[in-house]
Amino acid sequence: MRTAEQKNRVLVIGDIILDIVCEGLVERISPEAPVPVVKVKSEFYRAGGAANVANNIASLGAEAALIGAVGADSFGEEICKSMSGAGIESRYILKSRGRCTNTKTRVIGNCQQIVRMDCHDDERVNEEEHKLLIGNVKKILGHYDVIVLSDYGKGICSEALCREVIRLCSQAGKAVLVDPKGKDWEKYTGATMITPNLKEVMEWAGVKMKNDTDEIVARCGAVFDRLGTTYLLITRSECGMTLLENNGESISLRADAKEVFDVSGAGDTVIAAVSAFWGRMPLKETLRIANTAAGIVVGKRGTAAVTQKEIERALGNGRAWAVTNKIMSLEEAVKKSAEWKEEGKKVVFTNGCFDMFHKGHACLMYAAAEFGDRLIVGLNSDGSVHRLKGGSRPLNRQEDRACVIASMGCVDAVVIFDEDTPEQMLKRIRPDVLVKGGDYTLSKVAGREYAGEVRLVRYMEGYSTTALINKIITNEEAAT
């Protein structure tokens, strides 16, 4: 699980487009035809299609890479230059002499779009291009956590490519998020999430639907049986978005736009935000960020990126963002601990499973924080908890447990570890103080040799996750 600060790693595969914008003034009608004459004042380029998705991911603080194809032309060079300038891995973009770079040219006169001119290659990738693209995916797939298929119907996301990418990701345990195009969704079979707009859902299903939550939920369940996906996230313009899950549950969020200037690229922003925060927090919170990002981007002109600062402001002075920023990888925690020590801060460490967070856990956190200036909490992963506790444990997923702990004001960092003890983590972080509950003895504290000192705090009688679970079971049995 990663944070914005740690840079979640996302690989985007799809149709790359260069958006060209010509802006000017309209002061007369052409004598040649009844059309306006635009006196061009400026021309600029923007990333479009899969490139816009990658650009938004990077702008949101995640690490992004882009695989696709451009022509061996100046527009293709412009795209690659733009991606590199944004810190996006672009070395695996295929430069094909048999293709032209996809472009969309919008002519704006007096702040009003007058015409859009498209130049694109709809030919599907040929056998040689397919091998090169899949070869590039195989080279770097292991480095990335989430894969996005951005299908604009320009030939890159062929059935063969989509199926092969999804197969490779399934084998590697990677999530695949798809922004679909057209009616052929069978090529996305096995993807983790599909993110169409309502119009695209109706085209695929072959039915008309009102922009009504109940009707959408009732009529879209077939996607799970036919495609085997886990989530269907439908963007609904002014009505916000609805997430359907394969277990029958659904979540709807109202649109968050304050002003709508241009809806182009809004879908790119949604899938970018979801992928940038995938697996790092409860899904509903991820959707809230994506919904907020979409509300921001439609207030901008053309395809545009949303920044962390914009979302912080929109979410309320960054409070929600500040919580998720505390959830770090070990590498980030090691770096942050070193920075704190250089500032003269005393770093404290404690750890545990913290399943079904209760008063005893909270008191441990606050007591630990009193021993220094910065508190790092090591959290056993789901696999680690299951090995240690057995049965149906944990009851709460590691993402949810981490989010609860990070919400505490006394906690400065949360790090998930998969081992049975935090010994390897302590070896790297080397805190000034290691704190454990009073049910431990010094000789039983794992990793104590890597801390400046070990402190034991009083164990609160009557508070434990096991006792809480037993109480719930007893109450349920009494009620039946």
Q: What are the mean pLDDT values of the chain's consecutive 10-residue runs (480 residues total)? A: 60 96 93 94 92 94 95 94 94 91 93 90 86 97 96 95 97 96 95 95 90 91 90 91 93 71 70 92 87 84 74 65 80 89 90 88 91 95 91 86 91 94 94 86 87 86 62 59
How many domains are there within the chain?
A: 2
Q: In angstroms, rounded to a whole number, what is the distance separating the alpha carbons of residues 19 and 48? A: 6
268 in catalytic set? yes
- Domain span at residue 287 reads 9-325
63 and 73 belong to one structural domain: yes
- E strand or H helix at 177, and its extent? strand 175-179
270 and 258 belong to one structural domain: yes
Rounded alpha-carbon distances, angstroms, from residue 111 to 173, 264, 301, 302, 306? 47, 15, 9, 11, 21
120 and 250 belong to one structural domain: yes
Residue 3 lies in a domain: no
Residue 4 lies in a domain: no
180 and 286 belong to one structural domain: yes
320 and 464 belong to one structural domain: no
* Confidence at residue 305, expressed as pLDDT on a 0 to 100 scale: 81
* Confidence at residue 472, expressed as pLDDT on a 0 to 100 scale: 63
Structure pTM?
0.66
Active-site residue, from 268, 382, 412, 432: 268
* Confidence at residue 369, expressed as pLDDT on a 0 to 100 scale: 93
197 and 109 belong to one structural domain: yes
Residue 376 lies in a domain: yes
- Give backbone dihedrals phi and psi of 439, rounded to 5 degrees, phi first: -80, -5
230 and 336 belong to one structural domain: no
295 and 432 belong to one structural domain: no
Residue 403 lies in a domain: yes
* Confidence at residue 284, expressed as pLDDT on a 0 to 100 scale: 86
Residues constituting the chain: 480
Residue 480 lies in a domain: no
- Give backbone dihedrals phi and psi of 311, rounded to 5 degrees, phi first: -70, -40
